[in-house]
Amino acid sequence: MSNVRQAILDASAAHPAPAGVHYTYGTAGFRMNADLLDPVMYRVGLLATLRSKALGGKVIGVMVTASHNPVRDNGVKLVDPMGEMLKQSWEGYATQLANAQTHEEVADLYFSIAQECEIDLDQSASVVVGRDTRPSGEALVASLIDGLTASGAIVTDLGLKTTPQLHFVTRCLNDPSYGTPTEEGYYQKISDAYKTLVAGLEPLKITVDCAHGVGAPKLRDLTTYLGDALDVTVVNGDVEHGILNYHVGADFVKVNVKQPEGFDLAPNGIYCSFDGDADRIVFYYADEAGAFHLLDGDRITALVGAFIIETVRQAGLDLQVGVVQTAYANGNSTHYLRDSLQVPVAFTQTGVKHLHHKAEEYDIGVYFEANGHGTVIFSTAARNTIRNATHGDAKALHILRSLINVINETVGDAISDMLVVLGVLAHRQWALADWDALYKDLPSRLVKVVVGNRHAFKTINADTQLEEPADLQARIDAEVAKVSRGRSFVRPSGTEDVVRVYAEAETREECDTLAYTVAGLVFDLAGGVGERPAEFL
């Protein structure tokens, strides 16, 4: 038997799989109760080694996090060399390895995947690992490292990192032109760029809800690099007491459309919330009357998209700016982008990897999910055009050149997106109320339905329609037709064991009626479990 096989078998023995659990590499990797993840981590270690070997020894990233999910959960996802999500065709291997029943089967799969992908097993492998603040993180990273070591990878454990920092470092290790592959390199790059972007403008002041997660210590670190350029107050930064994401953070704010707990909003101040691993951000403010106003990912697209289009035009550059959204984008945001800004808008399935891929088709692609995850990406040609332009408005060129370096192109990044938004607001001299006034949201509602088997739901047309269960779509269409400007769609969650129902319509009442009627249909026709969704009014 080969030494590697023996090493994989020996180490696997310390990571037995629980009986009767089925694992799936979903939208953002494996994600579930942390108690069930130990064997998965070991096996993901093996897969990361294979992935690195398959790419000629390029560095692969592994991030241990469950993002906005409760603190008892954890998860793991792989990052490809340029900082993008793992190539989709490899997700199946991840799922297969995680579900192997015996240690022998784990070892067999390691070699059969290598064979199928024609991987040279003598090739060296290199992997960097990061984790968020979850208490289960350290032990899970140790299991991951067992897998990496058994399969002979060179491992760098980066310790606590935000998800986007891990993506950034992975990218820089493979592409030094992107930056210095350290956390300091990350702070230096984006803070220098921000300072250049807002030079000469009045410094802004922001309060940031860090969801009691890794964003808190990291944002504090960044502030020392930013100096006087930005006045940041970090709130909800208790990473010690197991209250991660509890009634705080971007997901809580977006889903409930209300402010997080832990602090009060002064009228017309600038506020934002990160999620637990700091790859999502939403903004908000309270008006003079104390009413809460949410500025979500759609708003970020509108603000940043419009600013970039205008600046590209001022700079006299011929670059096509395009926007990518998902079905969750508010209909009026799409309307604003298409009709007022006249910018092409494409739609993809939910999940960053889909949006990112589509955004690569434009010279400058702007993508944000409504939940606040997104970024802006520049094609190599666009980057060169901006860098080398000799004519055109100097100020506009200066803005674009600094903006490129504030943006973390590898993935949505709460810290970097915060600076991008603030940079635009500073240039516009806008308060959040001015930003809010760009368009008015259509009333929308999200409802979760628990069903016996969510995998029975299959969507088509960028999640907007159901192909299975048969007949359900026709029933949904009939309900949508009853309300003005109605839209509703149903899709299985990739991160939770639920089916999500989205609805929007001209009025709040029509919207809620539509949402709960469709949720009721799903419950009745697809084996609902527990309580039938009922309108809470």
User: What one-character-per-residue DSSP string does 244-296 give?
Assistant: TTTT-HHHHHHHHTSPPTTSPPPBT--EEEE-TTS--EEEEEE-TT--EEEE-
Sole window of 108-116, 470-478, 492-500, 511-519 interacting with ligand 16G (rule: CB under 6 A) = 492-500
Residue 498 Cβ vs ligand 16G, minimum distance, rounded to whole Å = 8
CB count in 10 Å sphere of residue 515: 24
**CA dist 378 to 361, 383, 423, 505, Å?**
10, 6, 18, 35
Q: What are phi and psi of 370, to 5 degrees?
A: -55, -30
Q: Which of 217, 269, 204, 210 is nearest to 235 (CA)?
A: 210
Q: How far is the CB of 502 from ligand 16G (least distance, A)?
A: 10
> Is residue 373 a contact point for ligand 16G (CB under 6 A)?
yes
The nearest distance, CB 281 to ligand 16G, in angstroms, is 13
Q: Which stretch binds ligand 16G (CB under 6 A): 52-60, 102-110, 194-202, 350-358?
A: 350-358
When asked if residue 67 is in the footprint of ligand 16G (CB under 6 A), the reply is yes
Q: Does the annotation place 494 within a ligand binding site?
A: yes
67 labelled as ligand-binding? yes
Which does residue 494 bind out of ligand 16G, Mg ion, none, counting CB within 5 to 8 angstroms by kind?
ligand 16G
Distance (Å, rounded) from C-alpha 90 to C-alpha 87?
6
Which partner, ligand 16G, Mg ion, none, binds residue 170 by CB below 5 to 8 Å per kind?
Answer: none
First to last CA, the chain: 66
User: Would the annotation count 493 as a binding residue?
Assistant: yes
The pair of three-digit structure tokens given for residue 508, joined into one six-digit string: 């709040």
Smallest separation (angstroms) from Mg ion to the CB of 473: 30
Binding ligand 16G (rule: CB under 6 A), the pick from 351, 443, 486, 528 is 351
State in angstroms the smallest separation of the CB of 292 from ligand 16G: 23
Among 371, 375, 405, 513, binds ligand 16G (CB under 6 A): 371
Output 28 or 222, the one with its CB closest to ligand 16G.
28
- Residue 168: C-alpha distances to residues 187, 198, 274, 375, 433 (Å): 11, 23, 18, 13, 33
Distance CA(521)–CA(532), nearest Å, equals 10
SS3 category, 481: coil
What would the two tokens of residue 179 be? 């930056």
Q: CB under 5 A: which stretch of 9-17, 67-75, 349-357, 526-534 binds Mg ion?
A: 67-75
Query: What letter does residue 133 receive in the DSSP assignment?
Result: S
Is 279 known as a binding-site position?
Answer: yes
> Please, what is the minimum distance in Å from the beta carbon of residue 67 to Mg ion?
3
Report yes or no: 420 and 304 within 8 Å, Cβ to Cβ.
yes
Q: Does 67 contact Mg ion by CB under 5 A?
A: yes
Which residues, other chains included, contact 337 with Cβ-Cβ below 8 Å and sequence gap of 6+? 301, 302, 305, 323, 325, 343, 345
Binding partner selected for residue 495 from ligand 16G, Mg ion, none, CB under the kind-specific 5 to 8 Å limit: ligand 16G
Q: Is 487 annotated as a binding residue?
A: no
Q: Of 373 and 487, which CB lies nearer to ligand 16G in the complex structure?
A: 373
Of Mg ion, ligand 16G, none, which one sits near residue 277, judging by CB under 5 to 8 A according to partner kind?
Answer: Mg ion
302's enclosing H/E stretch is helix 297-314
x/- letters, 472..491, toward ligand 16G (CB under 6 A): --------------------
Identified binder of ligand 16G from the candidate list 183, 296, 369, 463, rule CB under 6 A? 369
Stretch 6-45 residues interacting with ligand 16G (CB under 6 A): 27-28
The pair phi, psi for residue 177, each rounded to 5°, is -65, -15
Per the residue annotation, which of 12, 52, 67, 273 is the catalytic one? 67
- Of the candidates 150, 500, 505, 511, which one interacts with ligand 16G according to CB under 6 A? 500
CA–CA gap between residue 238 and residue 259 (Å, rounded): 18
- The site partner of 350 among Mg ion, ligand 16G, none (C-beta below 5 to 8 Å per kind) is ligand 16G
Nearer CB in complex with ligand 16G: 67/245 = 67
Q: Is 67 a catalytic residue?
A: yes
User: According to the binding rule CB under 5 A, does residue 251 interact with Mg ion?
Assistant: no
Which partner from the list Mg ion, ligand 16G, none does 275 bind, CB cut-off 5 to 8 Å by kind? Mg ion
Closer to Mg ion by Cβ: residue 114 or 166:
166
The DSSP annotation for 376-443 comes to EEE-HHHHHHHHH--SS-HHHHHHHHHHHHHS-TTS--HHHHHHHHHHHHHHHT--HHHHHTT--PPP
Number of residues that bind ligand 16G (CB under 6 A): 14
Q: 138 near 158, Cβ under 8 Å?
A: no
261-300 footprint of Mg ion as x/- string (CB under 5 A): --------------x-x-x---------------------
Residue 493 is a binding residue for ligand 16G (CB under 6 A): yes
What is the β-pairing status of strands 281-286 and 292-295? antiparallel
Three-state DSSP at 304 gives helix
Q: Enter the tokens of residue 353.
A: 């990897």
Q: Which of residues 155-214 bind ligand 16G (CB under 6 A)?
A: none
Q: Among residues 191, 161, 16, which one has the least CA distance to residue 79?
A: 161
Q: Which of Mg ion, ligand 16G, none is residue 496 near (CB under 5 to 8 Å by kind)?
A: ligand 16G
Report the residue closest to Mg ion, judged by CB. 67
For the annotated catalytic residues, the residue numbers are 67
- Per the annotation, where are the binding residues? 67, 275, 277, 279, 369-371, 491-495, 500
**Contact positions vs Mg ion (CB under 5 A):** 67, 275, 277, 279
Residues found near ligand 16G in the complex (CB under 6 A): 27-28, 67, 350-352, 369, 371, 373, 493-496, 500
